[in-house]
């Protein structure tokens, strides 16, 4: 299988750190945050080719991967425009002709530190008729308004709202998901979040699946505070 890591953001909320280091390479517990994502993908035993969507400080990220080879997997950077999750994913799909793949394509975001088991998502997807299958996990009520929230019934996502003010569900997107190749034809080359465009459309089509997961930890590093928390957790200063 092939996978795409979306890592083209400028990390504006992490400035001044990201003036010198691109967000995907910010160290967490002594290694770049994107390496946690790559390790998750490799550990599945199913991913053999990873495309990394990059834009901000692209040359720095490319140099990192050129000098950090991984056994058993090809890692290739793809230049995008920083057009959010939907736009950048479309650009990668066009350049690498992902719509012609024979297998599902896995997608992950490059700023998440988690021990998620992606095989649960892949297996769930392959045993369904869904066009997309999203990994979900329960979150505290105070986190609902900052994440994508799904309502799940019998393995189908019947509602998906990006950053709702309130919700009956507490199941949030892990930002790890599996897509059928034909889904890429549904994306547009424009600056748009896939969570606000494609996901609700797939819900209406009743082709959006979900699987509830129970990771020991899940942290994004989108802000200075969350970045500090992730480092403290990975260094054993605070528990997961």
pLDDT (tens digit per residue) in 10-36: 878 888 888 889 999 999 988 999 999
Helix 118-126 and helix 33-43, axial crossing angle in degrees, nearest 10: 50
Kind of pairing, strands 112-114 and 156-162? unpaired
Domain ranges of the chain: 2-228
Query: Domain 2-228 belongs to what architecture?
Result: Alpha-Beta Complex (3.90)
Rounding to the nearest 10 degrees, give the CA dihedral for residues 21, 22, 25, 28.
70
CA distances to 54, 144, 158, 192 from 164, in Å = 28, 7, 15, 17
Inter-CA distances, 120 with 67, 174, 184, 201, Å: 31, 12, 22, 24
Beta bridge mates, 112:
220
pLDDT tens digits, one per residue of 123-175? 999 999 999 999 999 999 988 998 999 999 999 999 999 999 988 899 999 99
Overall pTM surpassing 0.85 (yes/no)? yes
How far is residue 64's CA from residue 61's CA, in Å, rounded to a whole number?
5
User: Average pLDDT over the chain, rounded to whole?
Assistant: 93
Tell me what pLDDT residue 160 has.
96
pLDDT surpassing 80 at residue 239: no
């Amino acid at each position: 299988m092939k996978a795409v890591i979306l890592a083209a953001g400028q990390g504006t909320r992490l400035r001044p750190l990201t003036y010198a280091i691109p967000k995907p390479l910010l160290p967490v517990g002594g290694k770049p945050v994107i390496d946690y994502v790559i390790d998750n993908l490799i550990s599945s035993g199913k991913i053999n080719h990873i495309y990394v969507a990059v834009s901000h400080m692209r040359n720095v990220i490319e140099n990192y991967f050129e000098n950090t080879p991984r056994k058993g997997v090809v890692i290739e950077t793809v230049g995008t425009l920083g057009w959010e999750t939907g736009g950048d994913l479309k650009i990668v799909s066009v350049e690498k002709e992902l719509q012609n793949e024979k297998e599902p394509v896995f997608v992950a975001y490059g700023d998440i530190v988690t021990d998620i088991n992606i095989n649960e998502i892949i297996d769930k997807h392959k045993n369904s008729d869904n066009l997309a299958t999203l990994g979900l996990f329960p979150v505290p009520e105070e986190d609902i308004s900052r994440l994508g929230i799904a309502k799940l019934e019998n393995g189908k996502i019947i509602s998906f709202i990006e950053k709702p003010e309130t919700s009956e569900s507490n199941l949030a997107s892990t930002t790890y998901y599996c897509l059928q190749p034909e889904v890429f034809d549904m994306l547009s080359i424009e600056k748009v979040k896939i969570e606000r465009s494609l996901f609700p459309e797939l819900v209406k089509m009743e082709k959006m699946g979900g699987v509830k997961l129970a990771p020991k930890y899940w942290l994004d590093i989108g802000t200075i505070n969350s970045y500090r928390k992730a480092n403290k957790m990975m260094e054993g200063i605070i528990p997961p």
